[in-house]
Every structure is written in structure tokens, then in C-alpha cells.
Amino acid sequence: MSSGHVPKKKFGQNFLTVPYYVEKIVDSVPAKSGDVVVEIGPGKGALSSYLVKRDFDFTMIEMDSDVIPYLKGKLGDSRYKVINGDAVAFDYASLGESYHAVGNLPYNVASHIIKNILLTAPLVKSATFMVQKEVAERICASAGGKDIGFLSILCGYFGKPEKLFDVPPGAFFPKPKVVSSVFRICLDSHYFDRLSKENWLPFFDFVSKAYSTRRKKLTNNIQVVAGGKQSAEDALVKIGVSPDVRPEELSVDNWVDLYVELLGGSNG
């Protein structure tokens, strides 16, 4: 690769180098002129150099302080802002206004970043991210499928995630060992109809723990919360689900109903 910045393994840096895929990702961001667009982990600016040409209020969050001078040099005097910060721990609510998120996420922390961003709803309007293909398929999986898991419920709570396209290892430097995929979530208003915002974190914690042993019947995973196996079975029957159900068979709405039934979380 050309000189400028060497990818750092500790930051999970795999720089996208093929313009075809860069343009496809940028074109997938459902933002219009004047909207705030926040790029997570711009790295050497593959996406940034295209995003900055659009009429967006453009902000980047980059953890690697060494790459920022290179990034600024590449983008020149265009209108943008770079924040040197950790995308996992960053307070996205501090942006203070509605925004669309986009980025090539490091595989090892992608789920944490996705969760933190979605929890800023209603500020976040959409998320267009590139992740490992298996993760994208899990995020977009439907109830009853073999791929569904906690991330499916997390993302499905806020909107209907859709997988857009795959990106091969050869489109990056260095080449990752896996295929990547781009997915998008356009958030809808149902997240407030389902549960009040103060219930979001307890709800997702409940779902995460209930998925701890996904091959077992759900009653085994929730009986402590329910106050016993019989109470867990009764709760499932009350929400219209078989007491023999396994975690992957529940839809987002099933999970919400079960949470309200067991823990008394208030609907929106």
C-alpha cells in the first residue's frame, strides 16, 4: 500500500480501497442535503472523501490520532469536523441533533458501536454499516431462523434492518480473512410504541441473558427472573407462545410482551 499510514491491528483497521464499493456504501446512506452524517472510523478516508463532496453536515469519529493528520491532508479544506474519540465509548447523544450514521466498523467492537448508536434514538435516523458477513446476516435474520440472536432483536426493535450487498476481502488492505457485508437500518417510530426509553437498557439486558444458552428451552433461561419454571411457562402461555419455545423462535414483539409480563416494563 502507498505510504501515509500503516494499518494498526489493535484498532482493527482494514482500509477499503476499491472505489466501486465505496460509492455503493455512500449511495446507500439515506441522508438528504443539509442532514448531519456521522462516519464511524474514517481511517484513511475512503468513504470520507466521497461523503465530504455531498451536501452533508459531515462529522467523523476516529480513535487513531496518528491517522487524523493524513485524513485532514486528504480531505483538504472541505467543510467537516473530526473528533478524536473511541467510537465504542463515545456519547453520541452529545452530537445534539438528528444524524445518519455510516462506517466500516471494526469487527471486534461492531456490536457495541451499533448498540450505543441505536440507543440514541430518536436522534439517530439511520445506520449504514459494513460488518462481517455473518454478523450482517444475524442482524437481518427473522424469528425462527438459525441465524437470529440478540443482535437481531436489538436492531429489529428500532427498525427493519436489510442486508444490501457483500464486499470481498480483496477490496481491503490488509485483506481480512472473511467476507464483509453492508446493512442498513432506517429507524421507525415503533421503538417508542413498544417500550418507554427508560426500559430500553433493562429490556436488552433481559434479552441478552435469555439468549445465553440459546439451544435450551427459553423457560430454562428465564426461570430465575420469572420466579420459577412454572411461572416462566405461564408467562409464555399468557403472551401466546408455547412453553416449549426456544429463544430463536421469538419475534421482537414477543420479547417485548414477555419483558412486560415478567418485569412490568411499561409500554411507550
Domain boundaries, the chain: 9-188, 194-263
- Lowest pLDDT segment from 183-187, 189-193, 217-221, 256-260: 189-193
Q: CA nearest 60: which of 75, 184, 155?
A: 75
Residue, of 45 and 77, whose pLDDT is higher: 45
Question: What pTM was estimated for this model as a whole?
Answer: 0.91
Between CA 234 and CA 96 the distance in angstroms is: 44
Residue, of 46 and 11, whose pLDDT is higher: 46
Residue 177 has pLDDT above 90, yes or no: no
Cell numbers at 87, concatenated: 467510537
Burial string for 68-99 (b: 16+ CB within 10 Å, else e) reads bebbeebbeeeebebeeeebbebebeebeeeb
Q: Check residue 264 and give its pLDDT.
A: 80
Cell numbers at 123, concatenated: 436522534
Q: Check residue 55 and give its pLDDT.
A: 94
**DSSP bridge partners of 181:** 131, 166
Cell numbers at 20, concatenated: 466501486
Region for 132 from its dihedrals, namely left if φ exceeds 0, alpha if ψ lies in -120 to 50, beta otherwise: beta
Residue 106 has pLDDT above 90, yes or no: no
Between CA 41 and CA 49 the distance in angstroms is: 13
What average pLDDT does the chain have?
91
Mean pLDDT of 42-69: 94
Q: Check residue 8 and give its pLDDT.
A: 46
Mean pLDDT of 151-164: 96
Q: Check residue 13 and give its pLDDT.
A: 53
On whether the CB atoms of residues 46 and 17 are closer than 8 A, the answer is: yes
Q: Check residue 3 and give its pLDDT.
A: 44
- Give Cα 82 distance to the centre of its chain: 21
CATH of range 9-188; options 3.40.50.150, 3.40.50.11900, 3.90.1150.10, 3.30.230.10: 3.40.50.150
H-state helical runs in the chain: 19-28, 48-51, 68-75, 110-118, 133-139, 150-158, 190-194, 200-210, 218-226, 229-238, 252-263
Kindly report the CATH number that applies to the domain delimited by 194-263.
1.10.8.100
- Give Cα 193 distance to the centre of its chain: 21
